[in-house]
Amino acid sequence: MRLDGKTAVVTGAASGIGRATAEVLAEAGAHVLLGDIAEGPGAEAAAAIRGKGRGADFFRMDVTDLGSIEAFKQKAYAARPQIDIVVNVAGWGRIEPFVKNSPDFWRKVIDLNFLGPVAVSRAFLDQMVERKSGKIVTVSSDAGRVGSLGETVYSGAKGGAIAFTKSLAREMARFNVNVNCVCPGPTDTPLLAAVPEKHREAFVRVTPMGRLAKPSEIADAVLFFASGRADFITGQVISVSGGLTMVG
């Protein structure tokens, strides 16, 4: 699956699944524009990709701030005349009983996991519609498909991202813009590393394949949706969870 000559935007690209996605897309031949609120690690990730002879640039982006998204967009188009692929990876959550959540916590979770992908997708749609070509891939979560104990609002936001993907896919199909979604199960990322050890061990126990996903394994699914191999696939959701969730 090659992406030679393509340009891809990846949010949340400083670490975890976002960084792995940037690396995988670059390895496939895309020039990757990395966006993240973490400037140091983001710039380092882009430099590491360039160090392997691949194309990459980093620009700061806060997906909860429309001004920041617009600034990223302007820098992106200044660097590359055409954006072919947008991958929404930036997200955040914390395991906590719903009755202990604060309204500020709700807002942060929804802004990052739902409204962020909405805003970033909208920022790059006009050019895709005009030229009748483009790929949008959002990394949601299996929590949004089946729910997750202690992640109630997070599950709702991720479920919203899935529904957004399906609805946007219907609107964009006549413009030949593919919109799809990848749903990871528990994945070995810095975000999961912050979870108590007993929870991580429980995730491994209930996963039929007996381990956590590697970030690169999620990125491989993104690569498929971003590639020409998925040209007739839109509005779809694929789970990468080692068999943890098996629903229609």
What Å distances lie between residue 92 and 60, 156, 224, 226, CA to CA?
17, 13, 24, 23
Q: Which region among 17-21, 157-161, 205-209 has the lowest average model confidence (pLDDT)?
A: 205-209
Give the tens place of pLDDT for each residue, 105-128: 999 999 999 999 999 999 999 999
pTM: 0.94
pLDDT digits (tens, 9 = 90+) for 131-174: 999 999 999 999 999 998 889 999 999 999 999 999 999 999 99
Considering only 26-35, 38-47, 91-100, 165-174, which range has the smallest mean pLDDT? 91-100
Show the tokens assigned to 116: 């962020």
Residue 121 · residue 68 · CB < 8 Å: no
Q: Which of 58, 72, 124, 154 is catalytic?
A: 154
CA–CA gap between residue 33 and residue 11 (Å, rounded): 9
Instruction: Supply the pLDDT for residue 34.
Output: 98
- Residue 77 is a catalytic residue: no
Span of 82-91, 133-142, 192-201 with lowest mean pLDDT: 192-201
Q: Which residues contact 205 (CB under 8 A, 6 or more apart)?
A: none
pLDDT value, residue 60 = 98
Helix (H, G, I), strand (E, B) or coil at 10: strand
Domains and their CATH numbers in the chain: 7-238 (3.40.50.720)
